[in-house]
Amino acid sequence: MSRWLAAIPVYNEVKHVSSVLDEVVRYAPDVLAVDDGSKDGTSDLLRNRKDIAVIHHPQNRGYGAALKTAFEYAIAEGYEVIVTLDCDGQHQPQRIPMFVEACKKADIVTGSRYLKTFEGDSLPPPPERLFINRTITKRINDLFGWNLTDAFCGFKAYRTSALEQLRITVDGYAMPLELWAQAAMLGLSIVEVPVPLIYLDLARSFGGAMDDGGVRLKHYNQIIDESILAMRARGFELPDLYPAGCGIECCS
């Protein structure tokens, strides 16, 4: 790929942002941080960095909104690929080139914490999070004929030509579900690649009532339903189901 970018959504990550960015700049030619209204000193740290581009949201708008800003930046600046990773230290920047390489044969490359066991993997994730991930991942697979193993991993790479076809409206943590529905109904190609299973911020809040697992699961299903309806309004339909195991290509 001739031009590509690594982008990180950041919200109140003063403990991690400097060390994460120090590693990311080693593996990416250009780096963007989207500061989503941080109030803990993160914004000041980002303003002092001269080796990256930074976009500041005046107010906290949500994980999905930060990614949408990154997508818009990548498209406007003429990048062919954008790699996204989280800022809490769970994603390993040295794996960025693998995502870029995989994007040569797919519109979207998505990490999976469940494809492969790595030395040093965390203990099993919190049961509630694992249950929600498995439940939503299964529903996505049933709807779209895929064989995803991890619907929520934030370590991804996208061709900007594919992003130009999306209409992302969800601002919060459910944004990936809207993305999956749109990707499936647009017929985008997807590759899933293994990444280590690392949980560092088990106390992270999803925001108010969303910290309740039942509320979160209901919301995620609602986003899937609404996203499918929105795509149908654009004239797209659910894909014909693929034979088992043919929906997503996996790379080891």
Burial group, residue 103, by CB count within 10 angstroms (0-12, 13-18, 19+): buried
Q: How far is CA 238 from CA 164, 168, 182, 228, 244, in A?
A: 20, 18, 10, 8, 16
Q: Residue 48: pLDDT above 80?
A: yes
pLDDT, position 195: 93
pLDDT, position 98: 95
CA angle 206, 115, 217 (to 5 degrees): 30
The residues pairing with 76 across neighbouring beta strands, listed in sequence order, are: none
Q: Which two tokens stand for residue 209?
A: 């009532």
Q: Each residue of 17-31: pLDDT tens digit?
A: 999 999 999 999 999
Q: Which two tokens stand for residue 47?
A: 């303003």
Q: Which two tokens stand for residue 31?
A: 């780096």
pLDDT, position 204: 61
Q: Residue 250: pLDDT above 80?
A: no
Looking at CATH, the fold of the domain delimited by 4-250 is given as: Spore Coat Polysaccharide Biosynthesis Protein SpsA; Chain A (3.90.550)
pTM of the model: 0.90
Mean pLDDT of 66-94: 95
Average pLDDT, the chain: 90
pLDDT, position 243: 45
Neighbours of 236 (CB within 10 A): 16
